[in-house]
Structures are given as C-alpha cells and as structure tokens.
Amino acid sequence: MESAVRVQDLSVRFNDLTVFEKLSVSVPKGKITSVIGPNGAGKTTLIHALLGFVNYEGEIYFFKPKKDIRLGYVPQRLSFPPDMPATVRELFAAYLERRPIFLGPTKRLRRAVDMALSSVGLDGYAERNIVTLSGGELQRVLLAVTLSNPPDILLLDEPAAGVDVAGGDLFDNLILSINQDHDITIVMVSHDLNAVNRASDHVICLNRGIICEGPPEHALTPESLTKLFGNPALYTEHSCKKG
C-alpha cells in the first residue's frame, strides 16, 4: 500500500525532554489513520512534526515533493477573546483572501463560504459571531475553513475533544464522508476508541515510540491496549466493540 507519509528515525527533544527517539512509522495514502495513546505519549508532537511546527532529527517523506504538498490542520481547540466581533465569514476571509477584511467579501468568497459551511451541516452560519458558537460548531467551522482549499493530507488533533456524544458522532461521520468523497488522507489524534474503531482504516498506538500499528481489529486488542496504556482501567470505559 502506498504511503502518504513515511517517518524514519524521527527524534524530537525539548530541552532535556526526549519525546521520541528514532521513531519510524508510515501513514497509508487515501486512508484514515488514528493515533492513540496516553497523555504525554507524543501524539500532538507527531502532528506538529509533520506540520513543521517543531524541530526534529530524522526524515519525513511525503508521497510527492514537500513544496507541492497541501497540509490541512484542525487543532484540538482554538480560543478567541470573548469580545472578538469577527463573524464566521470574516474568519474565512482571513484564511482565503489577501485583500483587507474591511473591504468586504467578494462574491467568490461568499459562494465559497456558503458551500464549505453547507458541506459540514452549518448552512446559514456565515454571519454568526465566532464567539457565540458551541465547541462542536466551532470545530466544524474550522474543518470547513480547512476544506475550502482541499488539502492532500488533513491533520486533526483531537477535533471532537469536549464535544458531546451527538456532536462527536456527527464529526466522525463528516470525517468518513470527507475521506470517501474527496480521497483525502486523514491523520487523526483521538482518545475515543469507539470512534477509532468505527472510522479508522489504520491505527498507530503511540507512547514515546510505536507500541503497535495496523488495522483496528489488530491494533485494538486487549493485549495491545494494556501494553499501550498500562492499566486496563484507562481504556475499558471506551468499548472497542463495533456498535
């Protein structure tokens, strides 16, 4: 299977803390890969290394030249000042347009925003103030912003963290649709093993190194999860059985 990303001998250090030491792993192209592990395992650091946000040693190879790769990124959370007056449409404008926001959106931008919001089930949200959105709505807006210029690889750092069950299920279904409809490779950090089992083609079990990897039925076994988390109580509340 072709790899979208191949990491070879990746080492990341922050002062005296070593997060990884010669980590090697591959992400299959066109598939959904979930990265799981306990807190402090290095999951976000791996995403940040792929994005070039942190210094590292080793090599990261993409399926085409790095200068031609489009990476999309939705962080775990993005906070705004409570008195920020910006609307959803203005957030899109800041991302997509080079012209000053105060000149107003172009017709092209209006169409692009409306289409992107519709694709994530947020029709009519363009004029909403960003700070009035729920956590789940904001995450879907950020996803829509990222998809307005479709990436080759979409990186999601616990995108449904803090979202209720219904919102989490909706987000998972969106991720599946994006992958199937647009053939976008998706790498998703998650703590929800139900979601991982339901939506993933490939799972990377990470705890300062690769503990296991493979399809969910091979990676999400009691033996692998005990080795990964150390204590079954840390994961038994998240059933790994398909519903």
- Provide the residue ranges of all domains of the chain, joining segments of one domain with +: 1-70+151-243, 78-149
Which tokens sit at 48?
């940040």
CA Rg value for the chain:
19
Beta strands in 82-217 (DSSP E): 153-157, 185-189, 202-206, 210-214
List, in order, residues 6 or more apart from 68 with CB less than 8 Å away: none
27-46 exposure pattern, b = at least 16 Cβ within 10 A, e = fewer: bebbbbbbbbbbeebbbbbb
What pLDDT digit, counting tens, does each position of 29-82 carry? 999 999 999 988 999 999 999 999 999 999 999 999 989 999 999 988 777 888
Which tokens sit at 127?
């004029």
Model pTM? 0.86
User: Distance between CA atoms of 192 and 19, rounded to whole angstroms?
Assistant: 23
Section 82-103 average pLDDT: 75
Architecture of 1-70+151-243 per CATH?
3-Layer(aba) Sandwich (3.40)
Contact 155/143 with Cβ under 8 angstroms? no
For helices 107-119 and 135-147, angle between their N-to-C axes, nearest 10 degrees: 120
Residue 237 in this model has a pLDDT that exceeds 50:
no
Angle ∠(187,193,196) on CA atoms, nearest 5: 35
pLDDT at position 239 is 45
Residue 241 in this model has a pLDDT that exceeds 80:
no
User: Distance between CA atoms of 37 and 235, rounded to whole angstroms?
Assistant: 10
User: Distance between CA atoms of 103 and 99, rounded to whole angstroms?
Assistant: 7
